[in-house]
């Protein structure tokens, strides 16, 4: 069986690197290097422009910080009730279950937290968050995110869900994971049965498929375990340069997802995270793709094209109603509450 890659030296031994890949040295903004055996099997090793490779191979351009980039562009720290609990929107919170992922995607927007190898939340951190959510009845949903929730053991996941259910039995839980893409063998009937024990309120599976070739037999089987057991699946795609920034790829991705019972939910414009400028798509191109998708896709297959505005501006559609102007390659957006945020092209 093919082995995964967990260091730059291993990567160099097994692949002929491009100039930008070979020049990578790592730095303060860099994530660890980890590529799972399953995802490696999907990469076309003889193609340096392979869209899957671009998502996981490090690049020296990660070491640069471009205009308006920052480590926490969404200002999650400012909305953190605890180091693990983020309350940005009135009705929902995000709980950072762990900083560990089986594979580190180079476009990760939570680089300030992910990959620091701190590990899963401890019992005190879980209970503190559960108590807060239980005391704030306006919170109706929680995102169990990270890192990746499913890097934790079944027992740890069971304990975490039990704690939130104890204080908020009617809380809708979003299970946010890319592991159905990166390590689908993790998902078993035993795990699903464990989750279903806590069915006082619905669960939703939130996936991240960014390219049609990530949708393979193994990943479909992993998602089907959830869907067949009454847990709907929704997908959040990140718009990425050289990966999915054309209408044909996006059309195929959305239609294939829908065929396999995964609702295309969001397509996100890249966040202004330090070291990710080379993967971001020009906003005017994203807006054109969004218009093309409205002509090509059914309502079921059409995702919402969104931008998470910097400086804590929140999520807004990239449609014209939220765009104020574009001048000197700087877009001005109106937030939901009427304030304005800048986004460079």
Q: Would residue 176 show up in a list of annotated catalytic residues for this protein?
A: no
Catalytic residue among 60, 176, 271, 343: 271
Catalytic residue among 60, 101, 176, 254: 101
Catalytic residue among 315, 322, 334, 342: 315
Distance CA 87, CA 97 (A): 15
Q: Would residue 92 show up in a list of annotated catalytic residues for this protein?
A: yes
- Sheet with 323-327, edge to edge strand ranges: 323-327, 330-334, 340-344
Residues 6+ apart with CB under 8 A from 187: 150, 179, 180, 222, 225, 226
Q: Would residue 315 show up in a list of annotated catalytic residues for this protein?
A: yes
Catalytic residue among 89, 167, 265, 322: 89
Q: Would residue 89 show up in a list of annotated catalytic residues for this protein?
A: yes
Q: Would residue 254 show up in a list of annotated catalytic residues for this protein?
A: no
Residues 6+ apart with CB under 8 A from 299: none
User: Which secondary structure element, helix H or strand E, spans residue 249, and what is its range?
Assistant: helix 247-259
State the virtual CA torsion across 100, 85, 231, 117 in degrees, nearest 10: 0
Q: Would residue 280 show up in a list of annotated catalytic residues for this protein?
A: no
Could you identify the residue written with the tokens 């009937």?
A: 189
Q: Would residue 88 show up in a list of annotated catalytic residues for this protein?
A: yes
**Dihedral class, residue 128 (left if φ above 0, else alpha if ψ from -120 to 50, else beta):** alpha
Q: Would residue 296 show up in a list of annotated catalytic residues for this protein?
A: no
Q: Would residue 294 show up in a list of annotated catalytic residues for this protein?
A: no
Catalytic residue among 105, 111, 174, 186: 105
Name the phi and psi angles at 233, rounded to 5.
Answer: -115, 130
Q: How many CA atoms are closer than 13 Å to the CA of 23, on its beta-carbon side?
A: 9
Q: Would residue 108 show up in a list of annotated catalytic residues for this protein?
A: yes
Are 152 and 103 contacting, i.e. CB atoms less than 8 angstroms apart?
no
Catalytic residue among 24, 50, 108, 266: 108
Catalytic residue among 12, 14, 64, 88: 88
- What's 338's DSSP letter? S
Catalytic residue among 53, 84, 92, 287: 92
Catalytic residues: 88-89, 92, 101, 105, 108, 110, 271, 308, 315
């Amino acid at each position: 069986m093919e082995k995964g890659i967990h260091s730059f030296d291993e990567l160099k031994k097994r692949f002929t690197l491009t100039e930008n890949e070979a020049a990578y040295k790592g730095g303060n903004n860099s994530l660890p290097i980890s590529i799972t055996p399953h995802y490696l099997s999907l990469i076309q090793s003889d193609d340096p422009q392979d869209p899957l490779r671009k998502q996981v191979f490090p690049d020296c351009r990660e070491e640069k910080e471009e205009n308006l980039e920052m480590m926490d562009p969404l200002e999650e720290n400012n909305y953190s009730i605890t180091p693990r609990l983020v309350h940005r929107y009135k009705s929902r919170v995000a709980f950072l279950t762990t900083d560990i992922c089986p594979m580190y995607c180079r476009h990760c927007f939570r680089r300030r937290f992910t990959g620091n190898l701190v590990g899963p939340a401890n019992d005190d951190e879980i209970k503190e968050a559960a108590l807060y959510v239980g005391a704030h009845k306006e919170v109706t949903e929680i995102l169990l995110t990270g890192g990746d929730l499913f890097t934790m053991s079944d027992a740890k996941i069971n304990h975490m869900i039990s704690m939130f259910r104890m204080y908020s039995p009617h809380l809708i839980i979003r299970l946010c994971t890319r592991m159905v893409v990166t390590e689908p063998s993790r998902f078993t009937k035993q795990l699903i049965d464990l989750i279903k024990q806590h069915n006082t309120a619905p669960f939703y599976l939130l996936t991240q498929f960014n390219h049609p070739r990530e949708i393979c037999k193994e990943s479909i089987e992993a998602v089907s375990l959830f869907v067949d057991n009454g847990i709907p699946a929704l997908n959040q795609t990140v718009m990425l340069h050289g990966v999915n920034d054309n209408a044909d790829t996006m059309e195929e991705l959305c239609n294939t997802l829908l065929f396999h019972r995964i609702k295309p939910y969001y397509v996100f414009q890249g966040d202004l995270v330090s070291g990710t400028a080379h993967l971001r798509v020009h906003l005017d191109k994203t807006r054109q793709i969004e218009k093309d998708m409205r002509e090509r896709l059914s309502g079921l297959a059409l995702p919402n094209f969104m931008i998470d505005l910097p400086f804590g501006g929140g999520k807004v559609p990239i449609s014209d109603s939220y765009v104020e102007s574009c001048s000197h390659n700087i877009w001005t957006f109106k937030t939901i509450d009427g304030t304005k945020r800048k986004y460079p092209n």
